[in-house]
A and B are shown apart, each in its own frame.
Chain A
Amino acid sequence: MNQQLTVNVITNMYQQYPAVFRRPLKQRLVRWLIWTGFTAFTVYCLAQLGFFDVGMIAEGLGKLYGVVSFMLPPAAHGRFLDFLWAIFETLGMAFIGTLLAALIALPMGFLGSKNVIGHPVFHFVLRRLFDFIRGIDALIWALVWINVVGLGPFAGILAIACSVSGELAKIFSEAIENVDRKQIDGVRASGANTIQTMRFAILPQVFPVILSTSLYYFESNTRSATILGIVGAGGIGLQLADRIRVLAWDQAALIIIMILVTVYLIDTMSNRIRHHFIKAPEIQR
């Protein structure tokens, strides 16, 4: 093993094992084709979405510069309390929306888990229904609910409740499917009926998961509640869209900062509560 590495040795090696130094032609061709295809597709996308419209982009950049310079410094112009109220409205929307979603999702979760109702077709249909509800964005639900209950935070609450209930129902039913079988057997053996089995054998096991998931979703719903207002469903988003509509950019900037602070505070708080109050393992998502 004390052979010295010279140019001779390397050329020798190269001749003996060309595949180590250079990939075979077929592999190189395939790689080249993939990259060409990728580049061509990207260029097509750029063209399709107006990235080659230099005039529009130049004008837009000028306007964007104007917007940013109007944003600084952020100012309230005496509307700070309105904005603060709207922040509270947003938090309220997220809170009640999450609560409603959890209340809807709990029975749905029981119905949708294999070990509660064993019928495969029923299980399949219900799970696909959850997927479908989950697939519709909260903003779409908000637009629909605005048509039903009118503009305002109430539509936002219902939108959050609808879109999140599908997601929570899926998580809950997966948690219920993973419960320990022994406790169910024990409660059954002492003569409990189905409802009592759910109450005394399943619920105590899944309750920590339900609580911590709901808290997590409260956090994420606060984020979505801030933007629901942009389509008219109340909260801080409504104020933001309104301020942008009248081109009060400094106030809009203040609102954006307020949103960031709120989201940050809620994140830290719910993390604290999760770690302190509920001593359940983190859910793998």
Chain B
Amino acid sequence: MLAFGIIFVFALFASAYVGEVNISEFVDGLPSFFNYFHQTLPEIHAKTFQSDIADWYWGIDKWMSFLWDTVLIAFLATLFGFVFAFILCFAASRNLNKNYWTYFICRRIMEIARSVPELVYALIFVFSFGIGPFPGVLAIAVHSCGALGKLFSEINENVDLGASEGVLASGGNWFQVVRYAVVPQVFPNFMSYTLLRFEINVRAASVVGFVGAGGIGQELMTSIRQFLYTDVSAIVLMLVLAVSVIDVSCEKFRHHIIGQEFLV
């Protein structure tokens, strides 16, 4: 216990040193932080309520279209991630693939894809493809492919092999085993994880814009950098609302899917 205490205190001081923690700077900065928040709040009076709201959300059309782009980026990235994870996951499950090398290669591809953060991929892709939503989709798709592939192959490894023995016994090849014995068992779980990934990807899509990869992030960063205070609060509020609406509806849909049996 004491040893852990000493390590903890040491880690604390070392971190404070390398992290350039400066209490006096923080205390000085604290009022300006609250000031910042105060400034982001729009002035809304009961008398001129409607025009005040309209004034606060002056850019609603533009922001809505960026928000829509963000959702599209997340959708497409999830779709691509799903497709590639689906292709890789069967070869990356030990119970379905007895060939060590293909197993090893598929596993490593997925590992590399998921361990590098989306934003790093986005930096590289923005450099190659230029500013816009295209590199954003690619970056999130690569990361999702790795993350989903891992989950998918874990589901595959827990599959009941009785059905696949049946297909093998009636003369099915490997693809037929996967198609008729494994996929029907795992598909609802795949869908559930994919929907969960879509929720995560909406959040990711809203920040890849910070490095120029499209979506609402680009607009948000401009308004933060240019100190357009009320714009910041307007966009953040929109974003949080949109994300929570998507979360709630995806959760409903997920529970609906898990309860259902997929026969075809």
Contacts and interface: CB of A to CB of B under 8 A. Distances in A.
B87 to A, nearest CB: 17
Given A49-B137, A60-B129, A135-B243, A144 B21 contact: no
Contacts of B214: 49
B26 A149 contact: yes
B221 A63 contact: no
Interface centre among B120, B210, B220 (most CB of A within 10 A): B120
Interface in B10-28: 11-12, 14-22, 25-26
B134 A91 contact: no
B243 A154 contact: no
Q: Which secondary structure dominates chain B's binding surface? A: helix
B120 to A, nearest CB: 6
Contacts of B125: 60, 64
A92 B15 contact: yes
B184 interface: no
Contact of B4 (A56, A223, A234, A277): A277
A57 interface: yes
Contacts of A148: 29, 32-33, 36
Contacts of A60: 125, 128-130, 134-135
A154 to B, nearest CB: 5
Interface range, A side? 35 or more
Given A49-B76, A96-B12, A256-B116, A154 B127 contact: no
Given A148-B29, A260-B116, A92 B224 contact: no
Interface range, B side? 35 or more
Contact of A42 (B76, B129, B130): B76
Contacts, number: 157
Interface stretch (A6-14, A177-185, A224-232): A224-232
A18 to B, nearest CB: 16
Contacts of B29: 148-149
Contacts of B14: 88, 92
Nearest to B119: A227
Interface of B: 4, 11-12, 14-22, 25-26, 29, 32-33, 36, 69, 72-73, 75-76, 79, 115-117, 119-120, 123-125, 127-130, 132-135, 137, 203, 206-207, 210-211, 214, 220-221, 224-225, 227, 232, 236, 239-240, 243-244, 264
